[in-house]
Amino acid sequence: MKRREFMGCAAAAGAALRIPCSLWRGAPSNAKIDRIEIFPVVYPTAGYFKFFGGPGGSAGRAAVIVKITAHDGTIGWGQAVPLPKWSYETLETSVIAIRDYYAPALLGQDPADIEGAHAKMDKIIAPGFSTGMPISRAGIDIALHDLAAKLQDQSLAQLWGKPSGGTIPLSWTVNVTNIGDVGGVVEEGKKRGYRHFNIKVAPNPDFDVVLAREVRCLAPESFLWADANGGYDLETALKAAPRLAEAGVDVFESPLRPNRISGYQALKKQGALPILMDEGVVSPTDLEEFIKLGMLDGVAMKPARCGGLVSCRRQIEICLEHGLMWLGSGLTDPDISLAASLCLYGAYGLKKPAALNGPQFLTADVLKKPLRIENGFAHVPTGPGLGIEVDDQKVIDLMTQGNLSPKSD
Least confident among 51-65, 340-354, 380-394? 51-65
So what's the pLDDT on residue 31? Answer: 82
More confidently predicted of 143 and 4: 143
Residue 99, classed as helix, strand or coil, is helix
Q: Is residue 162 part of a domain?
A: no
**CA 305 to mean position of chain CA atoms:** 6
pLDDT per position as a tens digit, 74-94 = 999 999 999 999 999 999 999
Chain segment 52-77, per-residue pLDDT in tens: 876 655 678 999 999 999 999 999 99
Name the band, by pLDDT with cuts 50, 70 and 90, for residue 389. Answer: very high
- The structure's pTM equals 0.91
Does residue 121 sit within a domain?
yes
Say whether both 123 and 184 belong to one domain. Answer: no
- The pLDDT > 90 percentage for the chain reads 85
Q: Within this chain, do residues 186 and 325 fall inside the same structural domain, yes or no?
A: yes
Residue at 386 is within a domain = no
pLDDT at 138 over 90: yes
| pLDDT attached to residue 51 | 81
Asked if residue 350 lies in contact with residue 329, where contact means CB atoms within 8 angstroms, the answer is no
Same domain, 102 and 229: no
Instruction: Indicate if 195 and 259 belong to the same structural domain.
Output: yes
The verdict on residue 384 lying in a domain is no
220 and 113 fall within a common domain: no
Task: Look at the chain and report how many structural domains it folds into.
Answer: 2
pLDDT the model gives residue 13: 38
- Helix ranges (H only) for 49-133 are 91-96, 103-106, 114-124
> Which residue, 98, 113, 320, is CA-closest to 312?
320
Q: How confident is the model at residue 164 (pLDDT cuts 50, 70, 90)?
A: confident
The reply to whether 344 and 249 lie within a common domain is yes
Would you say residue 158 lies in a domain?
no
User: Taking Cα atoms as reference points, which of 201, 15, 202, 2 lies closest to residue 90?
Assistant: 2
Claim to verify: residue 132 and residue 249 sit in the same structural domain: no
Q: What is the CATH number of the domain that holds 294?
A: 3.20.20.120
- Segment 350-374 shows an average pLDDT of 97
The answer to whether residues 315 and 358 belong to one domain is yes
122 shares a domain with 202:
no
For residue 4, what pLDDT is reported?
Answer: 53
- The pLDDT tens digits of the residues spanning 2-56 come to 555 555 544 443 433 444 333 323 333 368 999 999 999 999 999 888 888 766 5
Residue 44 lies in a domain: yes
Whichever domain contains 39, its CATH number is: 3.30.390.10
Count CB neighbours of 321 within 10 A: 10
Query: Is residue 405 included in any domain, yes or no?
Result: no
Secondary element (H or E) of residue 135: helix 134-151
Lowest mean pLDDT among 38-52, 217-231, 350-364: 38-52
Give the tens place of pLDDT for each residue, 263-319. Answer: 999 999 999 999 999 999 999 999 999 999 999 999 999 999 999 999 999 999 999
Q: Is the domain of 193 the same as that of 145?
A: no
Shared domain for 352 and 241, answered yes or no, is yes
Mean pLDDT rounded to a whole number for the chain: 91
Task: List Cβ neighbours of 156 (8 Å cut-off, separation of 6 or more).
Answer: 145, 146, 149, 309, 340, 343, 344, 347, 385, 386, 387
Is the same domain home to 112 and 212?
Answer: no
Give the pLDDT of residue 19: 40
pLDDT tens readout for residues 322-340: 999 999 999 999 999 999 9
User: Residue 409 domain-assigned?
Assistant: no
Q: Which structural domain, as residue segments, surrounds residue 7?
A: 3-153+392-400
Q: Is 348 exposed, middle or buried (0-12, 13-18, 19+ CB in 10 A)?
A: buried
